[in-house]
A and B are shown apart, each in its own frame.
Chain A
């Protein structure tokens, strides 16, 4: 192998390793912050549950807007597939496995949690709910 090719290979490996790490870091930081807040609110907090996150994602709530009773109202029944807002705008898949660029900007994540939880539940989501939901999307 030529030295240049070797260097390219090494660079490729370094990139290949660095990219997923870089993509996962903000999500891990978010989960850590939600865990700290959940623990502060409830000393018995014992970690997030993707299963509870799934329930939150699919449950029909009565406290929010009647035309969007569930997260799935806009994000669609399949987390690996696209969704659509009531005004007809397509929303890309939420599952990290098919959309790895998701949840990379903590301010964006927080902005939409605030909007969408109010929209669906009629209140903000708790740190535990956010962590559960994010764990569910990370596992899918």
Chain B
């Protein structure tokens, strides 16, 4: 934690912001995240998927998107959010099979997806977990400066706030 604060000084008047300075950024998020009900999203178990989809960011839980989202993504890896995430065709097939089999609307993934896919139109193939209506709702109370904090920087950085995300837990 550096001495520089990422939020405007007027926020300093708020007890919450003062607590943040004392306790530290992650501790605050931890406390807040703990307030909600727990939910388990099984982490990626396939070592190839973990390696190929978990080097640049958290290997996102397959049950957090529907199968059609993963299918679309796996067909466009060359231009993956501006990055080249392409892999050999045989590897791509293996990854796609795994993600689809464990997707949030598949037999294996549905029990875990909970309400996360609620509100996604049946024809839509959202590419971001962080743009799902339900995800937005869960995170609407996270203030703007928190997203811009240098330890977060992007909504895709689940690990900054959910330190147990790699084990499938988002309530800590």
| Residues of A in contact with B (beta carbons under 8 Å apart) | 65, 85-89, 91, 111, 114-115, 118-119
- Asked whether A119 lies within 8 Å of B83 as measured between CB atoms, the reply is yes
Ordered by A's residue number, 12 sampled pairs between the chains whose C-beta atoms are within 8 Å are A65-B82, A85-B56, A88-B57, A88-B58, A88-B151, A88-B153, A88-B157, A88-B159, A91-B55, A114-B84, A115-B83, A115-B85
Given contacts A114-B84, A115-B84, A119-B83, contact A87 B154 (CB under 8 A): yes
CB distance from B129 to the nearest CB of A (A): 12
B27 contacts across to A, CB distance below 8 A: none
CB contact list, B10-45 vs A, under 8 A:
none
Question: How far is B119's CA from A13's CA once the two chains are assembled, in angstroms?
Answer: 63
- Asked whether B153 lies within 8 Å of A89 as measured between CB atoms, the reply is no
Number of A-B contacts (CB under 8 A): 37
A111 contacts across to B, CB distance below 8 A: 87
Main secondary structure of the interface of B (DSSP, over half): loop
B56 contacts across to A, CB distance below 8 A: 85, 87, 89
Residues 148-165 of chain B, each 1 if its beta carbon lies under 8 Å from chain A, else 0: 000111101111100000
B160 contacts across to A, CB distance below 8 A: 88
| B interface size (C-beta, 8 A) | 19
B151 contacts across to A, CB distance below 8 A: 88
Most buried by B among A88, A89, A91, A119: A88
Question: How far is B50's CA from A94's CA once the two chains are assembled, in angstroms?
Answer: 20
- Asked whether A87 lies within 8 Å of B57 as measured between CB atoms, the reply is yes
- Asked whether B84 lies within 8 Å of A87 as measured between CB atoms, the reply is no
B54 at the interface (CB under 8 A from A): yes
B83 contacts across to A, CB distance below 8 A: 115, 119
Most buried by B among A89, A91, A114, A115: A89
CB distance from A119 to the nearest CB of B (A): 7
A85 contacts across to B, CB distance below 8 A: 55-57
Residue of B nearest to A74 (CB): B56
A87 contacts across to B, CB distance below 8 A: 56-58, 154, 156-157
B87 contacts across to A, CB distance below 8 A: 111
Question: How far is B151's CA from A114's CA once the two chains are assembled, in angstroms?
Answer: 28
Q: Other than A65-B82, A89-B58, give 15 A-B pairs with Cβ distance below 8 A.
A: A85-B57, A86-B153, A87-B56, A87-B58, A87-B157, A88-B152, A88-B153, A88-B156, A88-B157, A88-B158, A88-B159, A91-B55, A111-B87, A118-B84, A119-B83
